[in-house]
Amino acid sequence: MRSAVTEFDLIDPPCITEELRLLRDQVRRFVAEEVLPVADQWEREGCIPRSIFRRLGALGLLGMRHPVEHGGTDMGPVASVLWAEELARSGYGGLPASVLVHTDMSSTHISRRGNEEQKCKYLPDIIRGEKIVAIAVTEPGAGSDVAGMKTRAVRDGDHWVIQGTKLYITNGVYGDIYIVAARTDPEAKGSRGISLFIVEKGTPGLVVARELEKHGDLCSDTAELYFDNLRLPDTAMLGELNKGFYAVMDNFQNERLVMAGSSIGASMRAIELTLDHVRTRQAFGGTLWDLQATRQKLSMLATKVAAARALTYSAAELEALGKDCVREISMAKVFACEVNVEVVNSCLQLHGGSGFMRGMAIERMTRDARIQTIGGGATEVMLEEVGKRL
C-alpha cells in the first residue's frame, strides 16, 4: 500500500501548479482507498472492474484531455504526465495501462478529430466512464511500423467493409468503443492511404478472437481482434480519409508522454519499497542500508529517476506550448522507460530471494516494467526518431 514508511518524492518543477498538486492528492487518495485493497484480486481476474472507470469518471478524472464543452476539463499534457505518474505509483502496472489507453491513447482521437456529432455522441459516456475505449492499430505484422498494416477497409456504396486482424489491444476484451486504423487506399505507399474508424461493441463482424495472457500488467485485459466483413457507415470514419497515419503519429505524443510518466511513478514506488526493505533487512552485523554499495546503488537510481522526471515534464511543457517536440518526447519516453527497467531489476536484486517470490510487489513491478520499452514505440524506434532530428 502507499503507506510505506519511506516517501520518495522529488521537488516539483515549476509547471506543476497548485491545481495539479490538488489533482495529485486526489489520485493518491483514490489509489490508497479504492485500488490497493482490491488490486490483487484484479490481477487474478485479469481485468479492472467497470465500476472503477465509473468511479474515476464521477471524480472528474477521465476528462483531462477532453474539451470543457463536452464534459472534460482540458488540463493538457502536464496534467496527463502527473496523472500517469500517480496511477503507476500504485505498483500495479495494469492500472495505468488500461486507464491511460482510455484517457490519453484512444479517446483523444475523438476529441481531436471527431466531428461535432461524434463528440456529442461518444465523449460524455467516455468521460463518465460508462464506455471504455481502446485503440486498435497494432497487427501481427505491424507494430511500431504502423505503415505496414494490412487491415483493409473497402468502400461499398455509402458503407465501408473492414477485414483484418489487430493484436495486443489493451481494453480489447471489455472495451465498448474501438478506434480502428485500416488501409483505405491499397495503392498508396507506406503511410499514405490509412484511415480511422469508430467501431462500437456489438457491431456484426467484430470478433474478440482471444484474450491474451501476458508476462505482466495482469490486471489490464488484452485481446486479439478480428474484423470479419464488418460494415460501417460513412459516419463512422474519424477524421479525414487517408489521413489516419498522421493522426496516429500525432497522438503518439500523448501516448509516449504518459508512458514516460507511468515509468517514473513506478520507479519511484520501487525505490520506496526498496528503501524500506534495506533499512530493516539485517545482514553482516547491521542492515543492508549500512553497506556503502547499497546506499550508492539507490542514490544512483534515484538520480536517474529525477533526471527522467525533469526531462519528461520539460517535454510535456513544450507540448503544452504547441512546440514541435517529437525529439524531446521521444527522448523522454526512451530514458524514463529504460530507467524504469533498470530500477526495478536493481531493486529486485536488493530484495534478494524475497524479491523473486510471487506476491512480492517488486516481483510484480519487475514483470510490469518490461512492456514500457516496447509499447508506444520500442526504444529502438524512439532512438531513430531522435536520430532523425539531431
The CATH code belonging to domain 134-242 is 2.40.110.10
Give pLDDT tens digits for 291-327: 999 999 999 999 999 999 999 999 999 999 999 999 9
Instruction: Reply yes or no on whether the pLDDT at 2 is more than 50.
Output: no
Confidence of residue 1 (pLDDT cuts 50, 70, 90): very low
Distance CA 246, CA 252 (A): 10
β partners of residue 222: 170
pLDDT at site 189: 80
Rg (CA), the chain: 21
Instruction: Reply yes or no on whether the pLDDT at 337 is more than 60.
Output: yes
User: Which residues does 388 contact at the CB level (< 8 Å), separation at least 6?
Assistant: none
CATH architecture entry for 18-132: Orthogonal Bundle (1.10)
Give pLDDT tens digits for 155-185: 999 999 999 999 999 999 999 999 999 999 9
Give pLDDT tens digits for 228-246: 999 999 999 999 999 999 9
**Rounded average pLDDT over 374-389:** 96
- What cell does 15 get? 509547471
Distance CA 66, CA 113 (A): 12
E strand spans, 201-261: 206-211, 222-233, 237-238
Confidence of residue 5 (pLDDT cuts 50, 70, 90): low
Tell me which residue of 72, 48, 108, 60 sits closest to 255, measured CA to CA: 108
The CATH code belonging to domain 245-388 is 1.20.140.10
Instruction: Reply yes or no on whether the pLDDT at 4 is more than 70.
Output: no
User: Which residues does 109 contact at the CB level (< 8 Å), separation at least 6?
Assistant: 135, 179, 196, 238, 239, 247, 251
The one catalytic residue among 86, 139, 224, 255:
255
Query: Domain extents for the chain?
Result: 18-132, 134-242, 245-388
Contact 72, 249 (CB under 8 A): no
- Name the phi and psi angles at 137, rounded to 5: -115, -50
Give pLDDT tens digits for 86-126: 999 999 999 999 999 999 999 999 999 999 999 999 999 99
| Residue 45 annotated among the catalytic residues of the structure | no
Q: Indicate the DSSP class of residue 189.
A: -
β partners of residue 287: 282
Contact 48, 219 (CB under 8 A): yes
